[in-house]
Amino acid sequence: MARNLGFLLLPALLLAASPLYAVQVDEILQDSALEARARAISSELRCMVCQNQSIDDSEAPLARDLRLLVRERLNAGDSDRQVIDFMVARYGEFVLLKPRLAWHTAILWAAPLLALLAGLAMVLVSMRNRSAAAPEAVPLTEAERRKLMAIGHSPASPHAGEASNTQGA
Amino acid sequence: MIAELGHYALVLALALALVQSVSPVIGARAGDVGLMRLADSTALAQFGFVALAYGLLTVCYVTSDFSVQNVFENSHSQMPLLYKVTSLWGNHEGSMLLWVLILSAFGALVAIFGVTLPTSLKAKMLAVQSWVATAFYLFILLTSNPFRRLVEMPAEGRDLNPILQDLGLAVHPPLLYLGYVGFSVTFSFAVAALLEGRIDAAWARWVRPWILVAWMCLTLGVAMGSYWAYYELGWGGWWFWDPVENASLMPWLSGTALLHSAVVMEKRNVLKVWTILLAILTFSLSLVGTFLVRSGVLTSVHTFSTDPGRGVFILLILVVFIGGSLALFAMRAPLLKQGGLFAPISREGSLVLNNLLLSTACATVFVGTLYPLILEVLTGDKISVGAPFFNVTFGPLFVPLLLAVPFGPLLAWKRGDIYGVVQRLLAAGAVALVGVAATFAAAGIKPVLAPFGIGLAMFVMAGALSDVAERVAFRSMSLATIRRRAAGLPRSVWGTVLAHFALGLTLAGIVCETSWNSERIIALKPTETVSVSGYDLTFEGITSRTGSNYREIAARFAVRRNGLQIATMEPSKRVFPSRDGMTTTEAALLTRGLSQLYLSLGDSKADGAVTVRLYYKPLVLLIWLGAVVMVLGGALSLSDRRLRVGAPRPAARALPQPAE
């Protein structure tokens, strides 16, 4: 009897043994606007025991606890900002997938702009150098010219093979 | 015996690599053609021995020789043959062997196909390639020997990590490695050019096919990895900004920049210093990616190795090669002559903009990926940088880049006429506006950015088409002219058009998937129905079955549209007893045109109900189709006459010595 029962239960046991699921049915709030807010907040919060997963994606039990907590706070009438502040106060800044702008994250947030400005500066300086230097053509040696010809690149018309598209409008 | 032979073959490859590291350099210095040519033979022999080692390890896997530790830890006698072969690279040691296999294969390819290269450049290039190879042979032999035997032979293997038992994963790492390691060729060429002290447009022409090959493989590899994560991880996402994904995205971004700057260098002999730097940086980023994944600095799905000794070794390789090549660059770059002039509004100018934005994007990913690590080391503060950060920072960089894409190919070299180009793009702009309006009309104002995303995608696609329309004199309305000019267009032009068009496809897929993805999370009892976007799915019951090395619970759903059954879907969960009951989610996907229904199985309830997560993902396949078309564009470009037709095989002759 016990064995029979065990056989019947096997599929259920297998499923139950599997990791918990990201957002589960019983977590979903009745109020769809509130649920949408909960999902948006969840995708900004990190599941601390996972690798780079938001609590919205994660199957870990901790993520479920956090999802429930987010919904609890929303039900209590918190604003999005308040919910996030609450989570940060409780779990530290590590919980945020998008760090807040502060002194220790200044370089992170400035990185794209700094990289862009550095690149722009490089371009401007090299453009200036380029136009400052007289456009001097260093002639090819006879050997190089022959070799270029051999490669199929006529030095007389450097753009041979390239469709002409220089007509002005 | 087989494992020992493989080990021995790898040691021989190391010995050959040492010879190849030294002899061509001495040969080039002494002007000894024989010593320089020696590199060709050693490159081929090196590949032969690594291939032998690789083949022998494969034999160990196929025959399930569990006395080899690596096979024991990652294979199972009941596993399908395909996964026995592919599990070789599903672990640290084996994947490093694949790494050097591809590295030596590229060396051999250069030795075979580089007939038009100047002898001393080729010799130095192969020497540099061999320096890299030596480092990695040593790494494998000293820290990650895949041929190590166990004292007692276990009866059964531990099986491959279940989420890696998948066809997508069978092809993803080799493609990715072909891309990563392919850039070693451009790196070696760049360092060799710096050693030679001269570099010109011809260099770019020699290197461009190698850049293209590596870029194509990397594009496919990244796309494949994304698709694998999409269907295997069961969350329905296709890009997670995971550090390991970022590790493959960084070389892709800088490799794409390199592809474009090499065009400028080849055609106009400018941007030389920058191109050399990019070639060095791209491979450096590949090395950084290898370090991040292999050292266990980041722990994620992809990390197989968490041995700090290996991490330190790879870090050493990183420091030596990146530091060394950048130091060489700093010493030699000022000696390289800058080429011709160009106005800011010109084809060159547009490609500089492309490089500027791609490099900035790459720097953003780099900083975002490493910042938390560095901050924690320096201050102990733990922060996370995830998808929300990258989504916010990437958009502002990619929107101007994509807007500029149609302009580039239409601008003339040296000095472009922006008004003329704007006129020629009026039709594309009109198409984009119609797209924005139509999307607003069809989908409403939420989400508000989506119609503009669609408009941008259509602008990119229509812009690519206007380029080709312009070139074939489409407005002449004479079919004969169009046909004649279309046939006369170089394949590289078609390649550009196709790749740029594909960019629009991918963008359209991304916008559609993120804006109009519908989701249902619901618990269903048998015979109950859930509906999404006009599809009704009825839960018909659960079946359990046994696979080759797993047990499986599958839920069966009938899919109906307008009352007619069109398909059944069977999402399942697999349990792997050999891996302590580890479970994987096998989502069921139903492709409808370019859209997909995505059904993934969750918990079961006490009352016989199952939880399911159901998505309708409109036009999601465009994301990866775009990547495939991009690669086709690359292939067309690669088959261009000017890259295929080499110089006649040069007769043996005395070498001109570079002036010292």
Are both B491 and B525 inside the same structural domain?
Answer: no
For residue B26, name the pLDDT band (cuts at 50, 70, 90).
very high
Are both B305 and B436 inside the same structural domain?
Answer: no
Contacts of A24 in chain B (CB under 8 A): 521, 602-603, 611
Contacts of B613 in chain A (CB under 8 A): 21-23
Is omega for the bond preceding B400 within 30 degrees of 0, making it cis?
A: no
Contacts of A52 in chain B (CB under 8 A): 240-243, 300, 384, 386
pLDDT of residue A168: 34
Least confident of A94-108, A135-149, B88-102, B351-365: A135-149
What are B313-356's pLDDT values in tens digits?
A: 888 999 999 999 999 999 988 877 766 788 888 999 999 999 99
Q: Is residue A3's pLDDT more than 60?
A: no
Q: What mean pLDDT do residues B569-596 have?
A: 87
Are both B181 and B309 inside the same structural domain?
Answer: yes
For residue A161, name the pLDDT band (cuts at 50, 70, 90).
very low
How do the domains of chain A map onto residue ranges? 17-100, 104-151
CA-to-CA distance for A109 and B505, rounded, in angstroms?
A: 30
Where is the domain boundary, B401, B421, B441? B421
DSSP B156: S
CA-to-CA distance for B242 and B385, rounded, in angstroms?
A: 10
Q: What mean pLDDT do residues B404-408 have?
A: 93
For A109, phi then psi, to 5°, come to -70, -30
Q: Is residue B290's pLDDT more than 60?
A: yes
Interface contact A17, partner B, CB < 8 A: yes
Are both B97 and B212 inside the same structural domain?
Answer: no
Domain annotation covers residue B647: no
Q: Is residue A20's pLDDT more than 80?
A: no
Q: What mean pLDDT do residues B287-291 have?
A: 86
Are both B403 and B469 inside the same structural domain?
Answer: no
Chain centroid, CA B29 distance in Å: 37
CA-to-CA distance for B170 and B98, rounded, in angstroms?
A: 13
Domain of residue B596, residue span: 518-617
B24 and B126 in contact (C-beta within 8 Å)? Answer: yes
Strands B572-576 and B551-561: antiparallel
CATH of the domain at B125: 1.20.120
Are both B317 and B384 inside the same structural domain?
Answer: yes
pLDDT of residue B249: 94
CA-to-CA distance for B20 and B110, rounded, in angstroms?
A: 14
Cβ separation of A166 and B412 shorter than 8 Å?
yes
Count of domains observed in chain B: 4
ipTM: 0.85
Q: Which H or E run contains B197? A: none
CA distance B658 to chain A (A): 12
CA-to-CA distance for B172 and A2, rounded, in angstroms?
A: 46
Half-sphere exposure of B437 (CA within 13 A, CB side): 6
Q: What mean pLDDT do residues A4-27 have?
A: 47
Higher pLDDT, B184 or B116: B184
Cβ separation of B298 and A133 shorter than 8 Å?
no
Q: Is residue A1's pLDDT more than 60?
A: no
pLDDT of residue A155: 52
Domain annotation covers residue B572: yes
Task: Enumerate the β-bridge partners of residue B144.
Answer: none
Of B367, B424, B604, the CB nearest to A108: B367
Cβ separation of A97 and B604 shorter than 8 Å?
no
Domain annotation covers residue B643: no
CA-to-CA distance for A22 and B577, rounded, in angstroms?
A: 24
Which residue type is seen at B271? L
Cβ separation of A108 and B575 shorter than 8 Å?
no
Where is the domain boundary, B391, B421, B451? B421
Give the residue from B608, B602, B568, B604 showing the smallest Cα distance to B588.
Answer: B568
Conformation bin of residue B473: beta by default, left when phi > 0, alpha when psi is -120 to 50:
left
Q: Is residue B621's pLDDT more than 80?
A: yes
Conformation bin of residue A55: beta by default, left when phi > 0, alpha when psi is -120 to 50:
alpha
Are both B502 and B529 inside the same structural domain?
Answer: no
Give the residue from B19, B31, B328, B36 showing the smallest Cα distance to B191.
Answer: B328
pLDDT of residue A9: 36
For residue A154, name the pLDDT band (cuts at 50, 70, 90).
low
Q: Is residue B34's pLDDT more than 70?
A: yes
What are B452-502's pLDDT values in tens digits?
A: 999 999 999 999 998 888 888 776 667 888 888 888 888 888 999 999 999
Q: What mean pLDDT do residues B380-385 have?
A: 86
pLDDT of residue A96: 92
Cβ separation of B360 and A112 shorter than 8 Å?
yes
**pTM as predicted:** 0.88
Domain annotation covers residue B330: yes
Give the residue from B234, B242, A86 showing the smallest Cα distance to A96.
Answer: A86
For residue B417, name the pLDDT band (cuts at 50, 70, 90).
confident
Cβ separation of B417 and A94 shorter than 8 Å?
no
Residue A48: C-alpha distances to residues A64, A89, A91, A157, B384 (Å): 12, 14, 9, 62, 9
Read off the tokens for B57.
């390890």
Domain annotation covers residue B33: yes
Are both B480 and B410 inside the same structural domain?
Answer: no
Distance in Å from the first CA to the final CA of chain A: 89
CA distance A77 to chain B (A): 24
Domain annotation covers residue B640: no
CA-to-CA distance for A50 and B204, rounded, in angstroms?
A: 45
Size of the A and B interface in Cβ pairs below 8 Å? 190
What are A31-50's pLDDT values in tens digits?
A: 888 888 998 999 899 988 87
Q: What mean pLDDT do residues B121-135 have?
A: 95
Are both B566 and B541 inside the same structural domain?
Answer: yes
Cβ separation of B367 and A111 shorter than 8 Å?
yes
Class assignment of domain A17-100?
mainly alpha
pLDDT of residue B647: 41
Are both B487 and B523 inside the same structural domain?
Answer: no
Cβ separation of B410 and A165 shorter than 8 Å?
yes
Residues, chain B, total?
A: 660
**Three-state SS across B292-318?**
HHHHCCCCCCCCCCCCHHHHHHHHHHH
B25 burial class (0-12, 13-18, 19+ CB within 10 angstroms)? buried
For residue B301, name the pLDDT band (cuts at 50, 70, 90).
very low
Cβ separation of B383 and A16 shorter than 8 Å?
no
Higher pLDDT, B268 or A3: B268
Percent of chain A topping pLDDT 90: 32
Domain annotation covers residue B71: yes
Q: What mean pLDDT do residues A81-99 have?
A: 92
Which residue type is seen at B41? S
Of A59, A98, A141, A142, which to mutate for an interface test with B (greatest number of B Cβ within 10 Å)?
Answer: A98
CA distance A67 to chain B (A): 15
Domain annotation covers residue B659: no
DSSP string covering B585-647, please? Answer: EE-EEEEETTEEEEEEEEEE-TTS-EEEEEEEETTTTHHHHHHHHHHHHHHHHHT-HHHH--P
Give the residue from B40, B184, B31 showing the smallest Cα distance to B102.
Answer: B184
What are B190-244's pLDDT values in tens digits?
A: 999 999 888 888 899 899 999 999 999 999 999 998 998 888 776 778 888 888 8
For residue B296, name the pLDDT band (cuts at 50, 70, 90).
low
Q: Is residue B642's pLDDT more than 80?
A: no
CA-to-CA distance for B557 and B570, rounded, in angstroms?
A: 6
What are B151-184's pLDDT values in tens digits?
A: 888 888 887 777 777 787 778 888 999 999 999 9
Q: Is residue B434's pLDDT more than 90?
A: yes
